Structure 1
Amino acid sequence: MSSQNETATRIFCRATVVIIGLVAFIPIYAANLLDSQELIQLLGIGQQELKNLDQGKTVFFNVAEDDKKELAAGVAIYLPIAPSRIIQFIHKKGLSSLDPDVTAHGIIPLQATLETFKGFGFKAGDDEAEDFSQEAPERRFNLSTQEFHTLKATGSTRSDEASQAYRKILLERWQNYRKNGLKGIASYDRDNGPKANPSAELRLATLDSKILARYFPELYQAWLNYPAALPAGAEELYFWINRKVEGRPTAILGHRVMLSAGAGEVILSRQFYVGHSYNANQLSIACLPYRDGSLVFYTNRNFTDQVAGFGSDLKHSIGREQMQGEIIKQLTNLRKALK
């Protein structure tokens, strides 16, 4: 594998670890209670790995990849911090505060307008504006066929007009997802190649959430079939992020669902639109009371064209290892922030 592809894969994987949304599984259904020891067994964490957890080390657990474009990784860590403090941090700041590559972020209100996305834009004199408005065959942006046609009809390369056009796309993408859920996510045009389908990829990631389906069936069904009604007590939040990927601004639209559950909370997060470099992402963190603190289980599923095709096995191996490293960094930063 060339150094260029290896570098690209590393960057794509790093971009997936956007930490604005998390999942903390705390059991509340009387018929299907889950505790830390049970989850350890379900995830196949052995005695040696458990000893490492007790010593404050991170351990990895297997997360099956069911698609040639999927990268999946699982990391567990013990934090001598009560789950309530972790949850409070998530509610108050969000974990985007720990990511230096996030240049701007915000909440998308239910009455969103173009002004909602003013934090995202192309800088004057930036080649991004011209590339965006006069898209080349390489397809450097994730846009649908209709979105490409609209941009070509506009034809302007001015940064302010390009920014406004992109904000309109972001608004429409959010509106379609809010109205139709996964079915409302338009595919990405890949010129003469097959289109990328983030809708199908996120559906696959949700179907693979076996623990969620077993212990939180109502939330699982609502997440899978959104905008189906959420369980009582669940809260949802839409967000946008502007994040540097390959030195380029990357527009990301996300959806997070939170459900209070005893001493902890369930938070599900998916990136249903990503501006470039990868297709979609879904992540989860399980935070359970354990000894004098919490066991945190972080699972990340990312979908990117970059790991498919020739050399796929090697690309997956490299990408998975680098993804694990990025997750460890985020968990380490979380521990530092909560000291």
Structure 2
Amino acid sequence: MSRKLNHAVVAWLLAASFTLQGRPAFAELPTVEEALSELGMDRSEIAELARGGPVTYALSENSDAELAMGIAWYLPVPLEKVARQLRQNNPDPLDFDVIASGALNQLDGAASLASVVLSRKEAEALLDVEPGDEFNLSASEIDSFKTLRQRFSDVIEDVILQRYREVLFQRFEAYRRGGVHAIAPYAREPGRDSQPAQELRQAASASAALLRDFPALYKVWLHYPESLPSGAEEAFPWVEKTVEGRPAVILRHRVSTDWNGGVLTLTREFYAPHSYNASQWITGCLAYRDGTVVFQEVRSYTDQVTGIASDVKHMIGRRLLKDKMLKSFRQLCAALEACR
């Protein structure tokens, strides 16, 4: 049986337990077990889910740089309690290694990143930055740091830090004005750039479940900054994490909508400073038996899995992604006091 995720079936599964505000429920709906079976889970996996164990499953990958995976977990916790936890904006309730966090806003400008800091090592690297994979920067952003190098003979960390905050805020402003289409490419070696804008459009297009049951939300997600549909809310958090041993300030866009007590959240990481290009995940919860099933689909893009031995790199990347998702869900389980 195919283990590729059928997004239309996910929509079917969600519809089995929820009614989108203002829309009637279907007259006859499959059981949750039937829908899980259509996802590709066999009887033993469904039984494992019912016992409280997390179940991971494969998603189709549509580019050499993409890593994709899904996870579902049954928790013996009321839907309302789980949904309340998932509605938290900053940091994301499934983040397990956040060092610092804040909210981006146009009123405060780059000052909304005032608590972002740089180590001297990172500051020195930025002052000497060149096109490549050490930093995710556009050609013009690289030139702005080269200008600082020409102006100052020594490393002045405060000046570099301020410029770095400005780069981050300008990335946010560009996204707010033009959505994924306005995300500047990352300059690599001559003749090659990474295209996070293209990758995030690809991730959005792959979310067919939204097309079926949330057409207005799906349209906005594809064509942001169109106005959000009624009942949806958005936030622009930033988080600092350690990624591959280096600090990373990551910029996000979160959109959430209610499902008669449940919640669906779309998260887009439209800027990451190194190691990977961009990512998107969809998180939701639905009533099941005497508790709640939480699910998440992640699509992440990194140049590190392309090129020679790409198949092996993808296998390793999926394993790392799976480990990360399991840690995230165990954190949620602990926060809900539902771990066994």
Q: Distance in 2 between matches of 1:200 and 1:108?
A: 23
1:42 CA displacement = 4.7
- Matched residue, 2:101: 105
1:32 CA displacement = 6.8
Amino acid at match of 2:211: A
State the SS of the aligned residue for 1:68.
coil
Question: Where does 1:35-46 land on structure 2 (aligned, <5 Å)?
Answer: 36-37=32-33, 39-46=35-42
1:95 CA displacement = 5.3
State the SS of the aligned residue for 1:76.
strand
Answer with 1 or 2: which has the greater Rg. Answer: 2
1:75 CA displacement = 1.2
1:296 CA displacement = 1.3
1:111 CA displacement = 1.6
Per-residue CA deviations over 1:262-300 (Å, capped at 9, x if unaligned) read 120121100000011100000112211001111111111
State the SS of the aligned residue for 1:119.
coil
Deviates more, 1:25-34 or 1:188-197: 25-34
Q: Distance in 1 between matches of 2:91 and 2:178?
A: 28
- Matched residue, 2:134: 140
Per-residue CA deviations over 1:176-217 (Å, capped at 9, x if unaligned) read 100100111000000325100000000000100011111111
- Matched residue, 1:329: 327
1:97 CA displacement = 6.0
Residue segments in structure 2 that go unaligned for 5+ positions in a row: 1-13
Determine if contact 1:36/1:289 at 8 Å carries over to the other structure: no
- Matched residue, 1:87: 83
Shift in alpha-carbon separation, 1:42–1:132, aligned structure 2, 3 A: farther
Q: Distance in 1 between matches of 2:101 and 2:282?
A: 20
1:84 CA displacement = 1.4
Q: Distance in 2 between matches of 1:71 and 1:32?
A: 34
State the SS of the aligned residue for 1:142.
coil
- Matched residue, 1:233: 231
- Matched residue, 1:247: 245
Amino acid at match of 1:208: A
Question: Where does 1:150-165 land on structure 2 (aligned, <5 Å)?
Answer: 150-155=144-149, 156=152, 157-165=155-163
- Matched residue, 1:311: 309
Amino acid at match of 2:36: I
Determine if contact 1:282/1:301 at 8 Å carries over to the other structure: yes
Q: Distance in 2 between matches of 1:319 and 1:86?
A: 29
Per-residue CA deviations over 1:219-271 (Å, capped at 9, x if unaligned) read 10111100112111110101111111122111111000011121201211000
Residue segments in structure 1 that go unaligned for 5+ positions in a row: 1-23
Shift in alpha-carbon separation, 1:307–1:101, aligned structure 2, 3 A: same
Shift in alpha-carbon separation, 1:153–1:286, aligned structure 2, 3 A: same
Deviates more, 1:195-204 or 1:90-99: 90-99
Per-residue CA deviations over 1:135-180 (Å, capped at 9, x if unaligned) read 1454411000111111111214322111100100111110010010
Amino acid at match of 1:309: G
Question: Where does 1:1-339 land on structure 2 (aligned, <5 Å)?
Answer: 26-28=18-20, 30=23, 36-37=32-33, 39-92=35-88, 94=90, 96=92, 99-123=95-119, 126-136=120-130, 138-155=132-149, 156=152, 157-339=155-337
Per-residue CA deviations over 1:7-26 (Å, capped at 9, x if unaligned) read xxxxxxxxxxxxxxxxx995
State the SS of the aligned residue for 2:268.
strand
RMSD: 2.1
Q: Distance in 1 between matches of 2:161 and 2:25?
A: 48
Q: Distance in 1 between matches of 2:97 and 2:287?
A: 31
Deviates more, 1:260-269 or 1:271-280: 260-269
Determine if contact 2:67/2:300 at 8 Å carries over to the other structure: yes
Determine if contact 2:90/2:237 at 8 Å carries over to the other structure: no
Q: Distance in 2 between matches of 1:210 and 1:98?
A: 23
TM-score, structure 2 as length reference: 0.87
Shift in alpha-carbon separation, 1:182–1:136, aligned structure 2, 3 A: closer
The number of aligned residues is 314
Identity score, percent: 37
Q: Distance in 2 between matches of 1:257 and 1:190?
A: 31
Determine if contact 2:90/2:101 at 8 Å carries over to the other structure: no
TM-score, structure 1 as length reference: 0.87
1:324 CA displacement = 1.0
Determine if contact 2:180/2:224 at 8 Å carries over to the other structure: yes
1:74 CA displacement = 0.9
Amino acid at match of 2:137: L
Q: Distance in 2 between matches of 1:43 and 1:247?
A: 36
Q: Distance in 2 between matches of 1:27 and 1:322?
A: 35
The answer to which structure, 1 or 2, has the higher relative contact order (CA under 8 A, 6+ apart) is 1
Amino acid at match of 1:248: R
